[in-house]
Amino acid sequence: MKPIDLRSDTVTQPTPAMREAMARAEVGDDVFGDDPTVNRLQEACAERFGMEAGLFFPSGTQSNCAALMAHCQRGEEVIVGQDAHTYHYEAGGMAVLGSIQPQPLTNRPDGTLDLAQVEAAVKPDDAHFAITKLLALENTIGGKVISRAYMAEALALAKRRALATHLDGARIFNASVKLGMPVKELCAGFDTVSVCLSKGLGTPAGTVLVGRKDVVARARRIRKMLGGTMRQVGILAAAGLYALEHNVERLAEDHANAERLAKGLAQMGLNVDPVQTNMVFAAVPAESVASLKRHLEENGIKALAGPRLRLVTHLDVDRAAIDRAVAVFGAFFQKAHAAH
Ligand SMILES: Cc1ncc(COP(=O)(O)O)c(C=O)c1O
């Protein structure tokens, strides 16, 4: 039987229809700016987000890094969450490549930063300090949706303190679908937003940075410096255009499947976090982790099993696959329960 891969929403295979769109893509040399499909994708994203410009990147990591470098000069600082991808999971790129100082703050359980702490972290104009330049947020973060009301408050603070703003919107469409709010409204006021196409939207690669024209123009030069400017990349952009058209609204199915999976696990007595989008987190007793890993492997379930189990739903797991996964977990936990 085909394995059920719940490690991440990045594991999806392009569908035959997406591959068809890619095969048919009209392409050109994007270093010269004349790949029509890339240009269409950039314009479509900018338009959808109500932003001035868009720029296609090979990955979310590079898009975030280029955006931070476009906002901050050497020796300037970004206020960012400890759990943010830009801070925690990008190999320190902002510091290594951009000489940007991160000022990390603890994320609260709902994923937000305490805005009083953000305010207090803005450094005064004093030669001792780095120059605080940017506030970087993430939505969704750890599968949690950050509300528009919170983001509006954060944006107002940034404006008051003359900070630029960047949103890592790798999964912004999950937030948008969950809230029933168009991304244009959800992201209004950010200077830049990094939007991944290769997560819930199911493309093989690609992220579009949308935002202010001047910042995106700087990011274009940085993308070149980072080696991320590609040639006939309309083949990948075509997958992005296809995904924007076909794979956004259906994210609601992933959310429903995550909810179903969480319910199944909770019924086995596991402590499961409330589900908001497509990620399920559950506590696994430390003594069960190794045997659970083995059991899942033997039964065709791929998962990042640890004391904090993370399961992610996506395009390639349907409701039947979720039910099969629940049964596999059930067999393990019932056995474990019987042994005690
Ligand atoms: C929130 C978030 N931002 C950025 C990225 C980076 O994307 P990529 O893997 O395309 O570099 C990821 C990847 O998982 C992510 O989860």
Residue 336 binned pLDDT confidence (cut-offs 50, 70, 90): low
Strand order in the sheet with 279-283: 271-272, 279-283, 308-312
What's the confidence (pLDDT) of residue 152? 98
111: left (phi over 0), alpha (psi -120 to 50) or beta: left
User: Model's pTM, two decimal places?
Assistant: 0.97
Give the C-alpha separation, 231 to 224, whole Å. Answer: 12
Q: Three-state DSSP class for 133?
A: strand
List all residues 6 or more positions away from 326 whose beta carbon is below 8 Å from its beta carbon.
260, 261, 264, 265
Tell me the average pLDDT of the chain.
97
- How far is CA 225 from each of CA 102, 168, 218, rounded to the nearest angstrom? 21, 21, 11
| Residue-level length of the chain | 340
Instruction: State pLDDT tens for residues 8-40.
Output: 999 999 999 999 999 999 999 999 999 999 999
Q: Which of 8, 56, 83, 85 to mutate to test the pocket of ligand 1 (most atoms within 8 A of CB)?
A: 85
Q: What is the pLDDT of residues 266-289, one digit of tens each?
A: 999 999 999 999 999 999 999 999
Cβ–Cβ < 8 Å for 264, 326 = yes
Q: Of 215, 150, 158, 209, which is closest to residue 181 (Cα–Cα)?
A: 150
What are the tokens at 228?
């991320």
Pocket mutation for ligand 1, best pick of 8, 62, 199, 203 (most atoms within 8 Å of C-beta): 199
pLDDT at residue 305, rounded to an integer: 87
Atom of ligand 1 nearest to the CA of 138: 1
pLDDT at res. 339: 62
Which atom from ligand 1 is nearest to the alpha carbon of 205? 10
Pocket probe for ligand 1: among 56, 80, 82, 89, the residue whose CB has the most ligand atoms within 8 Å is 89
The number of beta carbons lying within 10 Å of the beta carbon of residue 193 is 26
Mean pLDDT of 61-83: 98
Distance 20 CA to ligand 1 centre (A): 26
Average pLDDT over residues 141-146: 98
SS3 153: helix
Residue 100 near residue 70 (C-beta atoms within 8 A): no
Question: What totals of helices (H) and strands (E) does the chain contain, helices first?
Answer: 14, 12
The single-letter code of the amino acid at 228 is G
Please give all residues whose beta carbon lies within 6 A of any atom in ligand 1, as ranges: 10, 59-61, 64, 85, 138, 168, 170, 196, 198, 207
For the stretch 90-119, pLDDT in tens is: 999 999 999 999 999 999 999 999 999 999
The preferred substitution site among 196, 197, 207, 278 for testing ligand 1, maximizing ligand atoms within 8 Å of CB, is 196
Asked if pLDDT for residue 72 goes beyond 80, the answer is yes
Residue 148 contacts residue 186 (beta carbons within 8 Å): yes
Mean pLDDT of 207-213: 99
Percent of the chain with pLDDT over 90: 97
What confidence tens digit (pLDDT) does each residue in 239-250 have?
Answer: 999 999 999 999
Backbone angles phi, psi at 69, to 5 degrees: -70, -30
Give the residue, by CA position, lying nearest to ligand 1 atom 4. Answer: 60
160 vs 1, higher pLDDT: 160
Closest among 24, 63, 25, 19 to 223, alpha carbons compared: 63
Q: How far is the CA of 168 from the centre of ligand 1 (A)?
A: 9
Closest CA to 120 of 94, 84, 146, 157: 157
Residue whose tokens read 């939505």: 139
Question: How many Å lie between the centroid of ligand 1 and the Cα of residue 162?
Answer: 27
Tens of pLDDT, residues 161-185: 999 999 999 999 999 999 999 999 9
pLDDT on residue 340 = 59
Look up tokens 């950050």; give the residue.
146
What proportions of the chain, in percent to the nearest 5, are helix, strand and coil?
A: 45, 15, 40
Q: What is the rounded distance in angstroms from the CA atom of residue 77 to the CA atom of residue 105? A: 13
**pLDDT at position 188 over 70:** yes
Locate 328 and state its tokens. Answer: 């596999």
Distance from the alpha carbon of residue 144 to the mean position of ligand 1, in angstroms? 15
* 139/161 Cα distance (integer angstroms): 22
Cα separation, 235 vs 41, whole angstroms: 11
The predicted pLDDT at position 135 comes to: 99
Mean pLDDT of 190-196: 99
Whether 337 shows a pLDDT value over 70: the answer reads no
Give the model's pLDDT for residue 1. Answer: 82
CB 107 within 8 A of CB 141: yes
